[in-house]
Amino acid sequence: MATTNLSHYDKATIPNASEFRFGIVVSEWNPEITENLYLGAEQALIENGTLPENIIRWDVPGSFELIYGCKRMVETQKLDAVIAIGNVIQGETKHFDFVCEGVTQGIKDLNIKYDTPVIFCVLTDNNKQQSLDRSGGKHGNKGIECAIAAIKMAALRQF
């Protein structure tokens, strides 16, 4: 877990995103977390030149469904990168482990199979406070960091 706010970046080092199209797939589970991550990502994309109409948002029920949502988005939309936004909080059962492993491997598989980068913006925290801290709280907003990663990966596709 980050102990500092990593959401600050040097805008001069970020490629201009005005020609890029991005998809964002957002889990509806833990909406107070995922909505903040989405807002951070959207803001960072727009601040770096992305036109609002070039940001496509789809919602899915939970983090496990992010895999299919991202897959369909990559297959049906002409995009330069996709951001998968979700949140899984540790509970008392092994469900946390299975969901985290499945989502991680699923998004990794999409990056291997397709030429469109899929960015992992899934918070996997021990408790809700940690998730709040990383979705706009004292540790910044991972949505911003993932949007910057998406811009950099979209630019990498041009090589």
List the structure tokens of 18.
Answer: 């005005």
Spatial CA neighbour of 83 closest among 16, 143, 15, 157: 143
| Residue 44 and residue 10 in contact, taking contact as beta carbons nearer than 8 Å | no
The torsion angles phi and psi of 137, rounded to 5 degrees, stand at -95, -145
At position 157, the amino acid (one-letter code) is R
From the candidates 2, 18, 76, 95, give the one annotated as an active-site residue: 95
Strand partners, 150: none
Please give the Cα distance from 11 to 30 (Å, whole number): 30
Instruction: Please say if 95 is a catalytic residue.
Output: yes
Residue carrying the six token digits 């959401």: 7
The residues annotated as belonging to the active site are 95
